């Protein structure tokens, strides 16, 4: 059963990932990304990480990709791109090199951590101990105790990004005068 679920979810993830890369229409690509995120959520459920699955759907599928789509629609870039002309000459060779490097990195990581993957961790057994909120409790405990500094630093990073975006997107009066737009 677990294998069947894994195969279905993995097929979803791979199909979505291929769709993101191969579809030339940005909206279709974004939808394929949603498929991938859903597949990952299913895998989280089958690994007893229900809370992560919910967060995956709420945050990634429900907010982030919606914002992607929002930008695509608002800026009207929802036309198929012309792939013949290359804005940057070395982009393609560079992408191939970086991609190969990333694959190599992944393979080494998997080979190095193979023992850890084979080992079954003593995770939370919801079925036996009867504590149905064990999942969320464990995540909360590790986020707010062991990794609290990393967590807070991440939130500061996000706020800095938001402030930066606002500053960049803001039009100043002096800019308008330069362009000569009538108020």
Partner 1 sequence: MIALTHSLFAIDPLFDGGLLWTPLLILVIKVLVVFVIGLVTTMLMVWFERKAIAGMQNRIGPNKAGPFGLLQTLADGIKLFFKEDLLPERSDRLVFRLAPYLSFVPAFLAFAIIPLGGDYRNGNGGIVTWFGHQTRVQLADPPIGVLFALAISSIAVYGIMLAGWSSGSKYPLLGSVRASAQMVSYEAALGLSLAAVILVTGTLSTSGIVGSQSSLGSWNIVATGVIPFVIFLIAATAELNRPPFDLVEAEQELVGGFNTEYSSIRFSLFFLAEFMNTITMSAVIVTLFFGGPQPISIGNTTLDIPLVNNSLEGSIWLIAKVLVFLYIYIWFRASLPRFRYDQLMDLGWKFLIPASLGWFMLLAAQRLADNENWDQLIVMPLSIAVILVCFILMQLAFRASAKNRESEGASF
Q: How many CB atoms lie within 10 A of CB 126?
A: 14
Count of positions (residues) in the chain: 183
Q: Candidates 33, 34, 35, 43: give the one binding partner 1 (CB under 8 A).
A: 34
Interface residue with partner 1 among 170, 178, 179, 180 (CB under 8 A) is: 170
Rounded to whole angstroms, the maximal C-alpha distance in the chain is 71
28 is a contact residue toward partner 1 (CB under 8 A): yes
Neighbour count for residue 32 (Cβ, 10 Å): 19
Q: Which of positions 105-164 make contact with partner 1 (CB under 8 A)?
A: 126-127, 132-133, 135-136
* CB neighbour class for 65 (10 Å; exposed up to 12, middle 13-18, buried from 19): middle
- Tracing tokens 């890369």 back to the chain, one arrives at 21
- Which residue lies nearer to partner 1 by CB, 15 or 48? 48
User: Do residues 81 and 54 make contact, with C-beta atoms less than 8 angstroms apart?
Assistant: no
Residues 37-76 close enough to bind partner 1 by CB under 8 A? 45-46, 48, 50-51, 53-55, 57-58, 61-63, 66-67, 69-70, 73-74
Q: Using CB under 8 A as the criterion, which residues of the chain lie in contact with partner 1 when the complex forms?
A: 1-2, 5, 25, 27-28, 31, 34, 45-46, 48, 50-51, 53-55, 57-58, 61-63, 66-67, 69-70, 73-74, 78, 126-127, 132-133, 135-136, 170-173, 176, 183
């Amino acid at each position: 059963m677990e294998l069947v679920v894994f195969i279905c979810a993995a097929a979803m993830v791979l199909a979505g990932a291929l769709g993101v890369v191969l579809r030339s229409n940005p909206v279709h690509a974004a939808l394929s990304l949603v498929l991938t995120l859903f597949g990952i959520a299913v895998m989280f459920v089958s690994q007893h990480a229900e809370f992560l699955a919910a967060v995956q759907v709420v945050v990634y599928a429900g907010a982030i990709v919606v914002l992607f789509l929002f930008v695509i629609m608002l800026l009207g870039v929802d036309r198929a791109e012309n792939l013949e002309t290359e804005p940057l000459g070395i982009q393609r060779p560079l992408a191939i090199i970086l991609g190969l490097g990333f694959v190599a990195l992944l393979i080494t990581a998997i080979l190095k951590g193979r023992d850890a993957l084979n080992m079954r961790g003593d995770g939370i057994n919801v079925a036996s101990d009867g504590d149905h909120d064990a999942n969320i409790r464990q995540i909360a405990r590790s986020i707010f105790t062991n990794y609290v500094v990393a967590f807070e630093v991440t939130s500061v990073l996000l706020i800095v990004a938001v402030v930066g975006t606002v500053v960049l997107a803001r039009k100043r009066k002096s800019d308008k005068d330069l362009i000569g737009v009538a108020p």
